[in-house]
Amino acid sequence: MFGVLMVLQRSSGGNTAYFLGEVSSGGWWYYFPAVFILKEPLPSLILITLAILIVLFSLIKNFRSSSLKERFFNYLELNFAEFSMLSFVVLYWAYSIKSPLNIGVRHILPTLPLIYILSTEAVKNWVRQKIDLTEGFLKKLFIFSVNIVKTSLKTALIIVLIIWYLLEAFLNAPYFISYFNELGGGTANGYEHVTDSNYDWGQDLKRLAQFADNHKIDKIAVNYFGGGDIYYYLGKNRANDWNSSKGNPKFEGINWLAISINNLQGAIGKLRSGQTRNPEDEYQWLQKIKNPYKPDYRAGTSIFIYKLN
């Protein structure tokens, strides 16, 4: 309960974030649905959508067979665990959508296992065919053959989606934090839609140190977002903690600049109505000499690197 109270307190305060071209601290009600669609693998989204359609079709088909109240209590009696999971998902998502704390899809992760379980159950029942053996032999044979074909096609679809899902994991390894599906522009371009822990959680600091070693860089200015220590990984004599207001590091004899994409989007992203930002924090000097979205190099996916000479 203490953990739940901490989450409630944290979520009530909001957080300045970049989302779909805007920077705001007020949050967006459609943040979590949109980020879920952009980051959840497409085969998973297809299965979840299929499960929803199956359930809706079943409800419409059986709507007139008995009273709504009677069907609800029958369902509750036979499927209480399923109803409990569904209730948790709905209530959790409702609270998340209402919350102004929009910093990552990770905040709805507790609901994903339940969504997968519910979707799997619906799809399993859809694939499984019930055969009526009370008909005549020829009719039974025909129905049986049709059901075999239907089941085979449905099973093939599920197998294709599972293989696709596995390929997504292999092709995007090891950049799982920055993963975006094809609708979101892929892992390389997901930052265009949303950042923070959806894309940049400071995971590439060690890769930045490796880049500096490989390019024999003796001085580099770093505007880093994350929990790592730039001096630990890069060394106190090589790393310089930087931000936009310090100006061009070239004038300090530093020819390299590294910026975490979360900080960059927060600095140059379009402000939502009512939001303010100091001009000196907008990397205006960098925008005059470079296209910030076309860095010379990248450390992993989340740290943009610019050569200033």
In-domain check, residue 53:
yes
Same domain, 218 and 171: no
- Torsion of Cα atoms, 165 then 166 then 170 then 173, to 10°: 60
Answer yes or no: is 11 within a domain: yes
What's the CA gap between 240 and 191, in Å, rounded?
25
Domain that includes residue 259, residue range: 201-307
pLDDT-derived band at 168 (thresholds 50, 70, 90) equals very high
pLDDT value of residue 203: 97
Whether 191 maps to a domain, the answer reads no
Task: Give percent helix, percent strand, percent coil of the chain, each to the nearest 5.
Answer: 60, 10, 35
CA distance 92 to 29: 14
**Segment of 56-65, 99-108, 147-156, 196-205 carrying the highest mean pLDDT:** 196-205
**Radius of gyration (C-alpha) of the chain in whole angstroms:** 26
pLDDT in tens, 216-236: 999 999 999 999 999 999 999
Q: What is the pLDDT of residue 6?
A: 75
Residue written as token pair 């704390």: 101
Q: Is the pLDDT of residue 202 over 90?
A: yes
Asked if 303 and 221 count as a contact pair (C-beta separation under 8 A), the reply is: no
> Average pLDDT for residues 163-176, to the nearest whole number?
95
Clarify whether residues 161 and 246 are in a common domain: no
* Closest of 219, 237, 234, 207 to residue 303, by C-alpha: 207
Length of the chain, please?
309
Sorting pLDDT into bands at 50, 70 and 90, what band is 142? low
Is residue 228 situated within a structural domain?
yes
Residues 40 and 177 in one domain: yes
Q: How far is it, in rounded angstroms, from Cα 105 to Cα 98?
A: 14
What is the average pLDDT score of the chain? 89
Q: What is the pLDDT of residues 6-52, one digit of tens each?
A: 776 766 666 789 999 999 988 899 999 999 999 999 999 999 999 99
Catalogue the E-assigned strands of 13-67. 17-19, 22-24
Q: Which of 182, 215, 233 is the last residue of a domain?
A: 182
Q: Are residues 125 and 32 in the same domain?
A: yes
pLDDT in tens, 68-104: 667 777 777 778 889 899 999 999 999 889 888 888 8
The verdict on 58 and 169 lying in the same domain is: yes
Plot region of 196 (φ>0 → left; ψ -120 to 50 → alpha; else → beta): left
**What's the number of domains the chain is made of?**
2
Q: Last residue of some domain: 182, 211, 234?
A: 182
Angle separating helix axes 68-78 and 80-98, nearest 10 degrees: 100
- Region 201-216: mean pLDDT is 97
What would the two tokens of residue 99 be? 């919350």
| Phi, psi at 133, each rounded to 5° | -95, 15
Residue 129 and residue 234 share a domain: no
- Residue carrying structure tokens 């936009």: 244
pLDDT above 70: residue 67: no
- Residue 127 is predicted with a pLDDT of 86
Residue 193 placed within a domain: no
- Specify whether the CB–CB gap between 219 and 250 falls below 8 A: no
Domain contains 115: yes
pLDDT over 90 percentage in the chain: 67
Euclidean distance between CA atoms 309 and 298, whole angstroms = 17
Reported confidence tier of residue 181, pLDDT bands at 50, 70, 90: very high
Domain end marker among 155, 182, 209: 182
* 74 and 159, same domain (yes or no): yes
Which of 167-176, 243-252, 269-278 shows the lowest mean pLDDT across its residues?
269-278
* pLDDT band with cut points at 50, 70 and 90 for residue 60: confident
248, 268 contact by CB (below 8 A) = no
Q: What is the pLDDT of residue 25?
A: 84
Tokens of 198: 């959806």
Q: Is 55 in the same domain as 133? A: yes
Does residue 126 belong to any structural domain of this protein? yes
- For residue 202, what is the DSSP state? S
Same domain membership, residue 136 and residue 284 = no
**pLDDT confidence of residue 58:** 80
